[in-house]
Amino acid sequence: MVDLHTHTVFSDGVLIPTELVRRALVKGIKFIGITDHGDFSNMEQIIPSVLKVAERLNKLNLGIRVIPGIEITHVPPEDIEDAVKFARSLGAKLVVVHGETVVEPVAPGTNRAAIEAGVDVLAHPGLISEEEVKLAAERGVALEVSGRKGHSFTNGRVVALAKKFGATLVFNTDTHAPGDLMDENMALKVLMGAGLGKDEAIGIIMNGYRLAEKILGEVK
């Protein structure tokens, strides 16, 4: 199981990174991305802190790899490209953008700006357009199937369009609290609930492994 979208006390999560990682390990998660909400006000504080803890935990070979990242959140579309570049300059290995979920007033144009900026994952992209899904497929940007309440309302559309146009899908929980973490069995249920067959759902889980390994430079 892979989860590339989680939060800690560095934004609006309730766990410190070390406890989050421990709880994820118990759930059978092999790769976890710590991606707290960030903009130009706080990325300089969050990213170095997550880098520090990720380095220490990864050296211990606990059976889980920690990927330090950021979720660029509610940044105006016109500023997303610069925000992505800034996050990467600070050392973020995983850059997620908070997509146009239907349960928050995310600025229109966020999905497209994120895809054009070449983020790793577009989180909960809501009522994403066919054109944006095609662009994500062309640019190699993964679209998230969300396990989080509310954000998951449009999973069916995201899955259907990604299948139609060949975009990569990944499953993430968007964890903020201990009860949000999911093991692989529960993740498969969410994926199948979004209209995927079991084998297809397993394939989405495997996409997460491939993306995590790519981000960490373990595969070409």
d(CA 31, CA 189): 20
What is the mean predicted confidence (pLDDT) over 170-179?
Answer: 98
What is the mean predicted confidence (pLDDT) over 2-20?
Answer: 98
CATH number of 2-215: 3.20.20.140
What is the mean predicted confidence (pLDDT) over 25-38?
Answer: 98
Is 50 exceeded by the pLDDT of residue 220? Answer: no
What is the mean predicted confidence (pLDDT) over 81-92?
Answer: 98
Exposure string for 173-197, b = 16+ CB within 10 A, e = fewer: bbbbeeebbbebeebbebbeebebe
Domain boundaries, the chain: 2-215
Q: What percent of the chain has pLDDT over 70?
A: 99
Q: Which helix (H) or strand (E) is 144 found in, with range?
A: strand 142-146
Is 70 exceeded by the pLDDT of residue 219? Answer: no
Q: Taking the alpha carbons of 62, 209, 90, 20 in that order, is the dihedral positive or negative?
A: negative
CB 123 within 8 A of CB 96: yes
pLDDT digits (tens, 9 = 90+) for 121-157: 999 999 999 999 999 999 999 999 999 999 999 999 9
Is 50 exceeded by the pLDDT of residue 43? Answer: yes
What is the mean predicted confidence (pLDDT) over 96-120?
Answer: 98
Q: What is the mean pLDDT of the chain?
A: 97
pLDDT digits (tens, 9 = 90+) for 182-199: 999 999 999 999 999 999
Instruction: Note the pLDDT of residue 218.
Output: 61
Global confidence as pTM? 0.97
